[in-house]
Amino acid sequence: GQLTGGIAHDFNNLLTVVVGGLDLIAKRESDPKLKMYAQNALEAAERGARLTAQLLAFSRVQRLEVRPTYVAPLIANMRPLLRNVLGPGIEKQIELDEDLVPVLADPTQLELAVLNLAINARDAMPEGGVLAIRTRKLAVSGDPELHDGDYVELCISDTGTGMTPEVLERAFDPFFTTKEVGKGTGLGLSMVYGVARQSGGTARIESRVGEGTTVHLYFPRAPEESGEADTSAPEGPVVEREAAASVLVIDDDPIVRDFIVSSLEERGYRVREAEDGAAGLAGFREQAPDVVVLDFLMPGMSGAEVAKAIRHERPDQPILFVSGYSETEAIQRAAPDAPLLAKPFRADALDAAVRGALARVN
């Protein structure tokens, strides 16, 4: 997991530069052919970004937007998508617990997990069969892996080929696949496992050759008092004052920093940059910026340490973390309310996140 996370992190930094550069080219270029090349390359780079997102989910370092989520309606909303993925030869049996109980999970990742499981089931049933999706409430006690308490169990079963014990043993490993090159990445089940573990639950597989496969996902029930955290940026046009807002960008990677600085300048922000935490703090004292855009992983002072020092001097300073590889807990300890923008991102998303960070104090 750590190795995967490390590689994905470096790869994500590269993709930040690629996506950002292509985005600027696509916007500025007037030659329609060149514009199209840039657009196509951008789409491919974003596919790469989704792949690294899956890797990061597995390695448990990606910050998930974990919030109270209702599993049953989420599955119900996926019906049209599942119909497309499965095709006409596979019968769907969906049995959802009507009594809704919220769980703590990232809804987007959960959807992606179900989609991965449905694709695996389809691949295991080339001649057709039955895919069943069920949810139910479950009280867990004395489980070696799970804390005692209330859970929601989500089961996805197929009547396909099943797995041999050897395949079953390695099925959750990243990059483990029995499919031919181009057909499988071996990342589906590792992503599923990562999503369940990060939500405080787990994933288990039951499978026998010739008898089909059932994947069980367990999600802990959300505590009643946990409210819905809204991290989305406010809608609407840029207000004058915000357009002229001053931003301090602290990131050790010169190319990533360049991209952030130039896309913010392009939108009218007054930008100052620093290449490490110490220079950043000095800049902070001089500039008193409206927003600090802060990389999380840096040599020397980490982003968390910089944020702590800044908040010590100015407790309500808006800070936006940018990172491809983040430790939720460390960020939350340093600056509990600071939003996080995952690398790679486009100029628009950066702008929206900066405005979101500004809006928090108003």
> Helix or strand or coil: residue 307?
helix
Q: How far is the CB of 95 from ligand ADP (least distance, A)?
A: 18
Which CB, 16 or 213, lies closer to Mg ion?
213
Which residue is associated with the tokens 């209702």?
70
Segments of the chain assigned E as strands: 67-70, 90-95, 102-105, 129-140, 149-158, 202-208, 212-220, 246-250, 270-274, 291-295, 319-323, 340-342
Q: Which of 8, 124, 260, 319 binds ligand ADP (CB under 6 A)?
A: 124
Q: Would you count residue 188 as binding Mg ion (CB under 5 A)?
A: yes
Q: What is the rounded distance in angstroms from the CA atom of residue 250 to the CA atom of residue 122?
A: 46
Minimum distance of Mg ion from residue 177's CB (angstroms): 7
What 3-state DSSP class applies to 231? coil
Q: Which is nearer to Mg ion, 38 or 154 (CB)?
A: 154
CB of residue 137 to ligand ADP, shortest distance in Å: 25
CB of 153 to ligand ADP, least distance (A): 17
* DSSP of 41-71: HHHHHHHHHHHHHHHHHHTT-SPP--EEEEH
Q: Which is nearer to Mg ion, 66 or 124 (CB)?
A: 124
Which residue, 183 or 312, is less far from Mg ion as judged by CB?
Answer: 183
C-beta closer to ligand ADP: residue 212 or 344: 212
> In this structure, what token pair is assigned to residue 290?
């409206």
**Of these, 102, 188, 318, 324, which contacts ligand ADP (CB under 6 A)?**
188
Residue 39 and residue 132: Cα distance in Å, rounded?
Answer: 39
Q: Does 184 bind ligand ADP (CB under 6 A)?
A: yes
Q: How many CB atoms lie within 10 A of CB 31?
A: 9
Among positions 118-157, residues that touch Mg ion (CB under 5 A) are: 120
- CA distance linking residue 174 with residue 181, whole number of Å: 15
C-beta of 160 vs 188, nearer to Mg ion: 188
Rounded to a whole number of angstroms, the minimum distance from the CB of residue 47 to ligand ADP is 15
The string of DSSP letters for 155-216 reads: EEEE-S----HHHHHHTTSTT---SPTTT--S-HHHHHHHHHHHTT-EEEEEEETTTEEEEE
Among ligand ADP, Mg ion, none, the one that 171 touches (CB under a kind-dependent 5 to 8 A) is ligand ADP
Q: Which of 161, 199, 302, 323 binds ligand ADP (CB under 6 A)?
A: 161
- Taking CB positions, which residue lies at the least distance from ligand ADP? 188
Q: Which stretch binds ligand ADP (CB under 6 A): 48-56, 61-69, 171-179, 345-353?
A: 171-179
DSSP 323: E
Structural contact between residues 339 and 10, judged by C-beta atoms closer than 8 angstroms: no
Nearest to Mg ion of 213, 326 (CB atom): 213
- Which one of 21-29, 47-55, 73-81, 114-122 is the stretch in contact with ligand ADP (CB under 6 A)? 114-122
Asked if residue 92 binds ligand ADP (CB under 6 A), the reply is: no
Side chain identity, residue 59 = S
Q: Which stretch binds ligand ADP (CB under 6 A): 161-169, 244-252, 268-276, 307-315?
A: 161-169
217: β partners: 154, 203
Asked if 323 touches ligand ADP (CB under 6 A), the answer is no
User: Which partner, ligand ADP, Mg ion, none, binds residue 289 by CB below 5 to 8 Å per kind?
Assistant: none
How big is the chain, counted in residues? 362
Q: Is 213 in the site for ligand ADP (CB under 6 A)?
A: yes
Task: Classify 327 as helix, strand or coil.
Answer: coil
**Minimum CB–partner distance for residue 192 and Mg ion (Å):** 9
Longest dimension (CA), the chain: 69
185 or 287: CB nearest ligand ADP: 185
Contact positions vs ligand ADP (CB under 6 A): 116, 120-121, 124, 158, 160-163, 167, 171, 176-179, 184-190, 213
Contact positions vs Mg ion (CB under 5 A): 120, 188
